[in-house]
Amino acid sequence: MPSNVIGHLINGEQIQDTAHTQDVYNPSTGAVSKKVALAAKETVEKAIAAAQDAFPEWRDTSPLKRARIMFRFKELLEKNADKIAHLIGEEHGKIIHDARGELQRGIEVVEYACGAPELLKGEFTKNVGTNIDAWSDFQPLGVVAGITPFNFPTMVPLWMFPLAIVCGNTFVLKPSERDPSSTFYIAELLYEAGLPKGVLNVVNGGKEAVDTLLEDKRVQAISFVGSTPIAEYIYKTAAANGKRCQALGGAKNHAIVMPDADLDNVVSSLLGAAFGSSGERCMALSVAVTIGDEMGDKLVQELSKAMKTLKLGAYSEASNDFGPVITKQHQEKIIGHITSAEQQGAKIIVDGRHIKVSGYENGFFVGATLIDHVNAQMDSYKAEIFGPVLQVIRVETMEQAMKLINEHEYGNGTCIYTRDGEAARYFCDHIQVGMVGVNIPLPVPVAYHSFGGWKRSLFGDLHIYGPDGVRFYTRRKTVTQRWPSSGVREGSQFSMPTMN
Ligand code: NAD
């Protein structure tokens, strides 16, 4: 078996099933670096069976023992952070410092999962009636599955499996087939931390693997993160198969720039939020909505000046600001969006379509692009571009800006730049978006809150990780208990029991 084929991790063992494979690229060079196996239905079924077999013992393992494995896992992630960051960068293209940042945000969820004994304590009330006690217990679901996107190959899986596992579930993970190595490696580290066999299983693959997870009756719940059309498909299919599902989708995140905003702060933070990670973040700020033409002119002028200083290049060079996009097809798609904006009447202020990076001529690069005079009818505005492209829309009032955001199909993240507390408070209260920033461009909730958008950015009821994550991966059981002793026995009672 060629050593550069990424296989599967089932019951703690590496498994190769290489009838079907797909190329994995190094986007910085444009060359194929590895291959990934695409699991057949039978392979996914083996992973589900391993998780099913491991469940009874893991369910009865004390939360403290489960948490201790997570403490060791956190140490191993930190110890191996450089290696993980390189694996991320090599296949995703993000710069090494950005890859470290992604890993750190994932580790924070592991830290939250280390609190399992506290998180799973349940609720107890003594004497809900005379000599009657009641408690609610949060029990694991069984085998649960996670399906993850390319853009955060370690952070998004870490949003899912640590919490699901400390809650007593066993897990089957289907990572993105475009950058599978770092995900596979962190799963191996969890075994090194002492995880019993079968509690976490990784199957690489595409649609066949995903459909098997969606249809198999043994899988109780699905966490999904990816694009909106697939999220919607996952949610509907999981529900039709009787499963609990949270499916997080795509985004189009707007920043409102009020006339009183601190322009220097807006420019520097917009650069990172729009172009960091080549705009391949579901929380990337891709639209700036300026209030008043004066702010529009100033912002475009200052941004275009600042964009000249941006450094684009290979993932391994720490002084670069951002790297290539994930594939050649995606590069072409982003360039197509820029061209369509131009054809529909927008003005390209800074054009990243024809950029070449010296020494990396075959890399999948798109330069930072600034487009002015965009409007809500343009295709480039409606779509999630998922590239280093910032579009500017000019309106006259804050109400007009909020209307634009509220009418967009996505509602993942948004931000307002202002010095006016009253305006900011009104914005937070009335905007139809799940994660909101005030002078904070990427309001990604910390691990002990929960992450999720509104509208077509999330299908399902519960957000991911944090308190909602614990609720998603457990089900409530409420016990009401009396131990009869002489004198407290009750006879038959035909009316509804009450506390009289
Ligand atoms: P994607 O939807 O193409 O793929 C996500 C997962 O679904 C992958 O594991 C893939 O193998 C699987 N998949 C793809 N097509 C499928 C099909 N037809 N049937 C079944 N499974 C299928 O997403 P991507 O390109 O990997 O990631 C980028 C997208 O993810 C963007 O839209 C981004 O906004 C979104 N995203 C959202 C969040 C969030 O929290 N809302 C976070 C990260 C990324």
Backbone angles phi, psi at 155, to 5 degrees: -65, -45
Model's pTM, two decimal places? Answer: 0.96
Answer whether 225 contacts ligand 1 (Cβ < 6 A). yes
Backbone angles phi, psi at 273, to 5 degrees: -75, -25
Answer whether 177 contacts ligand 1 (Cβ < 6 A). yes
Structural class in CATH, domain 253-438: alpha beta
Where b means 16+ CB within 10 Å and e means fewer, 453-477 reads bebbbbbbebbbbbebbbbbbbeee
Q: CA torsion sign, 378 to 379 to 384 to 390?
A: negative
Backbone angles phi, psi at 13, to 5 degrees: -115, 145
- Among 154, 172, 210, the mutation site with the greatest number of ligand 1 atoms within 8 A of its Cβ is 210
Nearest residue CA, atom 21 of ligand 1? Answer: 207
Q: What letter represents residue 154's amino acid? A: T
Answer whether 230 contacts ligand 1 (Cβ < 6 A). yes
Own/partner long-range contacts of 304-307 (Cβ < 8 Å, ≥24 apart): 304/349, 304/350, 304/370, 306/267, 306/268, 306/271, 307/271, 307/275, 307/350, 307/368, 307/370
| pLDDT value of residue 499 | 66
* Dist. CA 175 → ligand 1 center (Å): 10
Q: Report helix, strand or coil for 260.
A: coil
* Dist. CA 230 → ligand 1 center (Å): 7
* Dist. CA 251 → ligand 1 center (Å): 12
Cα–Cα nearest to 287, from 349, 377, 374: 374
Those residues with Cβ within 8 angstroms of residue 180's Cβ, 6 or more apart along the chain or in another chain: 6, 24, 36, 91, 153, 204
Spatial distance between the Cα atoms of 7 and 202, rounded to a whole number of angstroms: 9
Mean predicted confidence (pLDDT) in 470-488: 88
Answer whether 92 contacts ligand 1 (Cβ < 6 A). no
Answer whether 251 contacts ligand 1 (Cβ < 6 A). yes
Cα–Cα nearest to 280, from 313, 314, 244, 327: 327
pLDDT digits (tens, 9 = 90+) for 407-456: 999 999 999 999 999 999 999 999 999 999 999 999 999 999 999 999 99
| pLDDT value of residue 492 | 80
Give the ligand 1 atom nearest the CA of 250: 34
2 has pLDDT over 60: no
pLDDT digits (tens, 9 = 90+) for 36-83: 999 999 999 999 999 999 999 999 999 999 999 999 999 999 999 999
Nearest residue CA, atom 12 of ligand 1? Answer: 206
Spatial distance between the Cα atoms of 451 and 466, rounded to a whole number of angstroms: 8
* Dist. CA 241 → ligand 1 center (Å): 20
Answer whether 227 contacts ligand 1 (Cβ < 6 A). yes
| pLDDT value of residue 16 | 87
Cβ atoms of 117 and 167 within 8 Å: the answer is: no
* Helical residues (DSSP H) of 2-95, grouped into ranges: 41-59, 63-79, 81-92
Among 3.40.605.10, 3.40.718.10, 3.40.50.2300, 2.70.150.10, what is the CATH number of 5-249+457-479? 3.40.605.10
Question: Catalytic one among 114, 167, 245, 282?
Answer: 282
Q: What is the mean pLDDT of the chain?
A: 96
Separation of CA 178 from chain center: 16
Those residues with Cβ within 8 angstroms of residue 345's Cβ, 6 or more apart along the chain or in another chain: 373, 375, 378
| pLDDT value of residue 360 | 97
* Dist. CA 146 → ligand 1 center (Å): 12
| pLDDT value of residue 201 | 98
Those residues with Cβ within 8 angstroms of residue 53's Cβ, 6 or more apart along the chain or in another chain: 11, 198
Mean predicted confidence (pLDDT) in 211-238: 98
282 part of the active site: yes
* Beta strand 458-459 pairing with 244-248: antiparallel
Q: CA torsion sign, 454 to 458 to 461 to 466?
A: negative
Answer whether 206 contacts ligand 1 (Cβ < 6 A). yes
Spatial distance between the Cα atoms of 72 and 448, rounded to a whole number of angstroms: 20
Cβ atoms of 222 and 214 within 8 Å: the answer is: yes
Answer whether 386 contacts ligand 1 (Cβ < 6 A). yes
Those residues with Cβ within 8 angstroms of residue 459's Cβ, 6 or more apart along the chain or in another chain: 231, 232, 234, 235, 245, 246, 247, 249
Residue 1's pLDDT band, with cuts at 50, 70 and 90, is very low
pLDDT digits (tens, 9 = 90+) for 309-339: 999 999 999 999 999 999 999 999 999 999 9
Mean predicted confidence (pLDDT) in 246-269: 97
- Among 25, 91, 176, 384, the mutation site with the greatest number of ligand 1 atoms within 8 A of its Cβ is 176
Q: Is the ipTM of this complex over 0.95?
A: yes
Answer whether 320 contacts ligand 1 (Cβ < 6 A). no
* Helical residues (DSSP H) of 224-286, grouped into ranges: 228-240, 263-275
Residue 488's pLDDT band, with cuts at 50, 70 and 90, is low
* Helical residues (DSSP H) of 394-464, grouped into ranges: 398-407, 421-430
Cβ atoms of 385 and 334 within 8 Å: the answer is: yes
Those residues with Cβ within 8 angstroms of residue 82's Cβ, 6 or more apart along the chain or in another chain: none
Enumerate the domain spans of the chain: 5-249+457-479, 253-438
* Dist. CA 43 → ligand 1 center (Å): 22
Q: Which residue has the tokens 């050649």?
A: 328
Those residues with Cβ within 8 angstroms of residue 316's Cβ, 6 or more apart along the chain or in another chain: 28, 86, 89, 96
Cα–Cα nearest to 144, from 239, 228, 69, 243: 243
| pLDDT value of residue 140 | 98
| pLDDT value of residue 406 | 98
Answer whether 174 contacts ligand 1 (Cβ < 6 A). yes
Answer whether 290 contacts ligand 1 (Cβ < 6 A). no
Mean predicted confidence (pLDDT) in 356-371: 97
Residue 227's pLDDT band, with cuts at 50, 70 and 90, is very high
The residue that leads in pLDDT, 23 or 490, is 23
The full DSSP string for 105-151 is HHHHHHHHHTTHHHHT--EEEEEEETTEEEEEEEEE-SEEEEE--SS
Backbone angles phi, psi at 397, to 5 degrees: -135, 160
* Dist. CA 248 → ligand 1 center (Å): 9
β-bridge mates for residue 475, sequence order: 139
384 has pLDDT over 70: yes
* Dist. CA 428 → ligand 1 center (Å): 28
